[in-house]
């Protein structure tokens, strides 16, 4: 096993940290045939560092020179704030024109929360923790009752969710962005939560369109970590709750009504009464209103986009049986083609292969490998790693180097359990190399794709499950995926099988 860990650049300590939901070190390449030295991953931060996490604020390394790695700083942050000890987050530098005396660097967290869905996991007594605000609960009650008690003390948390840290027996409340795009608000309005609230009146804002953009700019002057943030809106309090984690644009996010729909040759206003009296609507609901007037704007033929000036543009897709998608990455291509039988196919080309799906017959996904086959030794190394702890699920990824035409294993940051594994994608690596396959183990269970896998695996790539890891002979399932549609495959379709020892696995 030590040989495998040396190849992957992982120490025994790293593996143990993965089991306890701590950050795993990023694998390093071997150099000159020597065992890679253990290095801290991520950026370097010049000291002193001010951590700006909304209600969590602290200066680290005060009166110190030098720098800390991202791993070192994260450890200090987790030691300082117990609510972050069991939560995955990234650190992002904040650029300010004027810095406080005694601060060299500002950072904010981009936090990934995981909502507790199984109340049976809760152990009492437990504590709800958000900075200095806490709520102690001795006797067993439901999540809904806990939420009611917390909201009674802190009304701005209406609709909040909880993440559970089993180790510390604490619940961490958090909010998700719910403020409708383009909505305007009445004054006075409060922005913030707990001890970082600010209330704005007509004296603060003159002749301004009172959208969240205005309040975001105003609030971030004193709280720079909220530049570009999203909001949850608590209507009963007329309060905007800022979300530290920077949200990406989401086509499913609701849009405030009324909104103007602008297309070539016409403009229409979609009002609340057009969508059952609701004050906001999704792009799909707005499209349905449009289709009622102009049938050519069907779901299959229309792409809806929102303009921040608060109007919607419906775009009819090309008449060539699908819209053209142009990728900035080499060897990536999307197309809709019609075969000799007049069947339409969605074709997605990747540097390692071609995915196809029959749209006419709603068929499963077909895949053809165009790159060299993946060496079986990669699977053997994966099995060895999984068998390090066969009672827990684990995950790895296979990447392809287009220039070198070689494959490599990557071990992502992950939280492992007996019935599931949650891992975090490395988008920086995905820019450098091509993600070919996600592989996860099923511990001592047989290899199969669960309903959770079907819901989660929406990318265009290959997926694999390895099971029966507590047995001498493990089992495999492999499939090609395209936007939630799949096609089963044989191992020989993508792996070089000359090296396979059939007595070691179920083919």
pLDDT digit string, tens, across residues 27-41: 444 444 444 433 444
The whole-number average pLDDT for the span 451-472 is 86
| Mean pLDDT of the residues in the chain | 84
The whole-number average pLDDT for the span 461-465 is 94
Q: CA dist 149 to 17, 54, 127, 171, Å?
A: 35, 22, 12, 13
pLDDT digits (tens, 9 = 90+) for 171-222: 999 999 989 988 999 999 999 999 999 999 988 887 677 999 899 999 999 9
Identify the band that residue 83 occupies on the pLDDT scale cut at 50, 70 and 90: very high
Distance, in Å, from the CA atom of 219 to the CA atom of 229, rounded to the nearest integer, reads 10
Determine the pLDDT at residue 134.
97
Burial 23-38 (b: 16+ CB within 10 A, else e): bbbbbeeeeeeeebee
Long-range Cβ pairs for the range 209-213 (8 Å, 24+):
209/184, 210/184, 210/185, 210/186, 211/182, 211/183, 211/184, 211/185, 211/310, 212/179, 212/183, 212/185, 212/240, 213/308
Distance, in Å, from the CA atom of 279 to the CA atom of 112, rounded to the nearest integer, reads 30
Q: Averaging pLDDT over each range in 39-43, 310-314, 474-478, which range is the top one?
A: 474-478
Determine the pLDDT at residue 40.
40
Determine the pLDDT at residue 102.
92
- pLDDT higher at 500 or 215: 215
Q: The pTM is what?
A: 0.53
The whole-number average pLDDT for the span 299-303 is 78
């Amino acid at each position: 096993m030590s040989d495998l860990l040396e190849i992957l650049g992982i120490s025994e300590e790293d593996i143990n940290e993965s089991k306890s939901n701590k950050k795993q070190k990023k694998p390093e390449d071997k150099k000159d045939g020597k065992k890679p030295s253990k290095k801290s991953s991520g950026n370097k931060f010049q000291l002193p560092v001010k951590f700006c996490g909304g209600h969590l604020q602290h200066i680290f390394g005060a009166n110190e020179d030098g720098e800390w790695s991202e791993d070192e700083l994260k450890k200090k942050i987790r030691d300082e704030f117990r609510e972050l000890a069991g939560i995955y987050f990234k650190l992002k530098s904040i650029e300010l024109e004027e810095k406080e005396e005694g601060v060299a660097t500002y950072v904010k967290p981009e936090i990934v929360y995981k909502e507790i869905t199984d109340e049976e996991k809760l152990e009492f007594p437990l504590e709800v923790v958000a900075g200095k605000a806490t709520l102690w609960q001795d006797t067993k009650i439901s999540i809904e009752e806990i939420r009611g008690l917390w909201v009674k003390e802190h009304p701005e948390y209406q609709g909040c969710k909880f993440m559970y840290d089993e180790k510390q027996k604490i619940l961490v409340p958090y909010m998700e962005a719910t403020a409708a795009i383009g909505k305007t608000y009445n004054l006075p309005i409060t922005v913030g939560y707990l001890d970082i609230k600010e209330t704005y009146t007509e004296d603060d804002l003159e002749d301004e369109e009172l959208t969240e953009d205005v309040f975001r700019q105003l609030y971030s002057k004193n709280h720079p970590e909220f530049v570009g943030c999203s909001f949850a809106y608590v209507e009963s309090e007329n309060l905007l709750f800022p979300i530290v984690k920077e949200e990406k644009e989401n086509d499913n996010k609701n849009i405030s009504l009324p909104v103007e729909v602008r297309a070539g040759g016409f403009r229409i206003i979609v009002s609340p009464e057009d969508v059952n009296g609701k004050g906001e609507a999704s792009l799909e609901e707005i499209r349905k209103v449009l289709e009622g007037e102009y049938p050519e704007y069907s779901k299959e033929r229309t792409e809806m986009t929102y303009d921040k000036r608060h109007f919607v543009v419906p775009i009819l897709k090309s008449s060539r049986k699908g819209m053209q998608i142009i990728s900035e990455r080499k060897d990536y291509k999307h197309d809709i083609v019609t075969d000799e039988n007049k069947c339409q196919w969605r074709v997605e080309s990747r540097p390692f292969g071609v995915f196809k799906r029959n749209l006419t017959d709603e068929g499963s996904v077909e895949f053809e490998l165009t790159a060299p086959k993946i060496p079986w030794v990669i699977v053997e190394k994966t099995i060895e790693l999984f068998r390090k702890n066969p009672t827990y699920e684990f995950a790895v990824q296979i990447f392809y180097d287009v220039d070198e035409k070689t494959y490599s294993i990557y071990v992502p940051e992950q939280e492992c359990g007996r019935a599931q594994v949650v891992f975090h994608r490395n988008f920086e690596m995905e820019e450098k190399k091509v993600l070919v396959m996600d592989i996860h183990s099923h511990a001592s269970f047989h290899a199969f794709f669960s309903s959770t896998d079907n819901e989660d695996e929406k990318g265009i790539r290959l997926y694999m499950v390895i099971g029966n890891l507590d047995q001498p002979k493990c089992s495999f399932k492999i499939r090609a995926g395209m936007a939630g549609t799949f096609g089963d495959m044989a191992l020989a379709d993508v792996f070089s099988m000359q090296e396979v020892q059939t007595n070691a696995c179920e083919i």
